[in-house]
Amino acid sequence: MSVLLAIVKFIGIALLILLALLLLLLLVILFVPIRYQAEVSCYNQQLTVRAKVSYLLQMFRITAGYSMGQPVHYSCKLLWFTLFADEDSVKKVAHKTKKAAKKAAKVVEQVNKDVDEEAEEKTEQKEHAVQNTVVAERNIDNTSNNIRQSESETKHTGHHVETPDLEEDEENWYEDSYEEDIYESSKPVKKSSKHFGSDNASHSRQRKKQKKKFSIRGFWESLKTKLKAFVARLKAFYQRFLEVKEKGCLLKKLYDSEVTKRAFSKVKKQAGYLFRHLKPRVIKGSVRYGFHDPAMTGEVLAGISMFYPVVAPHFEIVPDFMEACFEGEVTIRGHIRLIHVAVVAITLFFNRALRKTIKRFQRITGGNE
């Protein structure tokens, strides 16, 4: 029995320690601030931007920077481990380019091999063609020599070799073809009927009448369909107008209701609370500016003076009425605690007026369907 109680006690202590660790983790997430810092400077028409976000005493940090004419550099680190950075992307790109270069080199080598093989095939074909021409010339020479020898032998022996008379054959062929043409032309041609023209005219008139009937009927049918579609569109537009008008009246009633006013006041109050805790704690810097027209410089200074009391202790604005310029630097620092965001979210979630207003709005606009 004592062993069982000891096991239960051990399990209970372990569960309490686990719950305490989870509660500690939750408190750390909610109350430890997320700090941010940004610096912007512009001198000699050279813009430089640097930003940094840190959490848990800079154990987790993100940095980024930009200088005009240079690429953006960034890094994300956890303790001394680099999670990701622009150098990694550069290395990956270099690795990919090396792979692509190797593939391209292989392709070029294969193409060169194919070209060399094609050139060798062409040379071999040329050599075969030259050999064939030489053999053909030799055969021609041999046949010509044989013919000469046969002619010389006929002269010595006195025998005459009969050759076909090609001119007489050609004359006989022309005469036969001429007689066939005369025979074909002498055949009688069948004559058409007398009433063929009148039948065509009557058929064309009937077709024209039918086309006119069909064209009038089709025009009337298309006109009726267009009128019906136009009337349907007018009805749909009028119905839509009535629906919009009714929704407008309902939204106006919802806006004028006391529940909606209480909900809006609560949202406004929570938004102010959130802004007070999320706004930058420090805004400091100095800016020197000027335009070609001194009047424009004065007008801009008058507009800035409305916001100057808010940042006056740490911010300096110097107008230059002599030349056009813009240079200076600005530093912003602040922090965000997630507990403030959680408090605002919980407060608004459990506010009855806001929930009723959202439900009524969804019912009017049909957003809950």
What tens digit of pLDDT does each residue of 90-137 get? 555 456 666 766 777 777 777 777 777 787 777 777 777 777 776 776
Domain co-membership, 332 together with 249? no
Residues 339 and 327 in one domain: yes
Number of domains the chain is built from: 3
Q: How far apart are CA 141 and CA 133, in angstroms?
A: 12
Across 57-66, 91-100, 333-342, least confident range = 91-100
330 in a domain, yes or no?
Answer: yes
Residues 266 and 351 in one domain: yes
Mean pLDDT, to the nearest integer, of 351-361? 89
Whole-prediction pTM: 0.51
> Would you say residue 128 lies in a domain?
yes
Q: Specify if 246 maps to a domain.
A: yes
pLDDT in tens, 243-264: 888 888 888 888 888 989 999 9
In the block, residue with structure tokens 């000891």: 6
- Domain extent, residue 287, equals 257-365
Residues 250 and 302 in one domain: no
Mean pLDDT rounded to a whole number for the chain: 78
Q: What percent of the chain has pLDDT over 70?
A: 73
> Of 92-96, 144-148, 181-185, 248-252, where does the model show the most confidence?
248-252
Average pLDDT of 153-181?
49
Kindly state whether residue 338 falls inside one of the protein's structural domains: yes
Claim to verify: residue 262 and residue 351 sit in the same structural domain: yes
Q: Is the domain of 299 the same as that of 233? A: no
Claim to verify: residue 265 and residue 216 sit in the same structural domain = no
Across the range 70-95, mean pLDDT stands at 74
Residue 218 dihedral angles phi and psi, to the nearest 5°: -65, -40
Instruction: Examine the pLDDT at 198 and tell me if it is beyond 60.
Output: no
Give me the pLDDT at residue 283, please.
83
> The tokens 């006119």 sit on which residue?
212
Q: Are 319 and 289 in contact (CB under 8 A)?
A: yes
Q: Which of 49, 55, 99, 97 is nearest to 69 (CA)?
A: 49
Q: Could you tell me if residue 334 is inside a domain? A: yes
Q: What's the whole-number mean pLDDT along residues 179-189?
A: 47
Asked if residue 217 and residue 139 are part of one domain, the reply reads no
Same domain? For 228 and 262 the reply is: no
Q: Residues 292-314: what's their mean pLDDT?
A: 82
Same domain, 261 and 359: yes
2 assigned to some structural domain: no
User: How far separated are the first and last CA of the chain, in Å rounded?
Assistant: 60
What was the pLDDT predicted at 142?
72
Residue 299 has pLDDT above 80, yes or no: yes
What pLDDT score does 194 carry?
43
Taking the mean position of all CA atoms in its chain, how far away is CA 71? Answer: 23
> Which residue from 280, 291, 286, 273 is spatially nearest to 339, judged by alpha carbons?
273
Measure the CA dihedral 346/352/356/357, to 10°: -70
- Which of 112, 131, 147 corresponds to the end of one domain? 147
- Whether residue 358 has pLDDT greater than 70: yes
State the average pLDDT over residues 67-78: 85
Q: How confident is the model at residue 191 (pLDDT cuts 50, 70, 90)?
A: very low
Same domain, 360 and 283: yes
- The per-residue pLDDT for 81 is 84
Nearest residue to 65 (alpha-carbon basis) of 55, 75, 79: 75
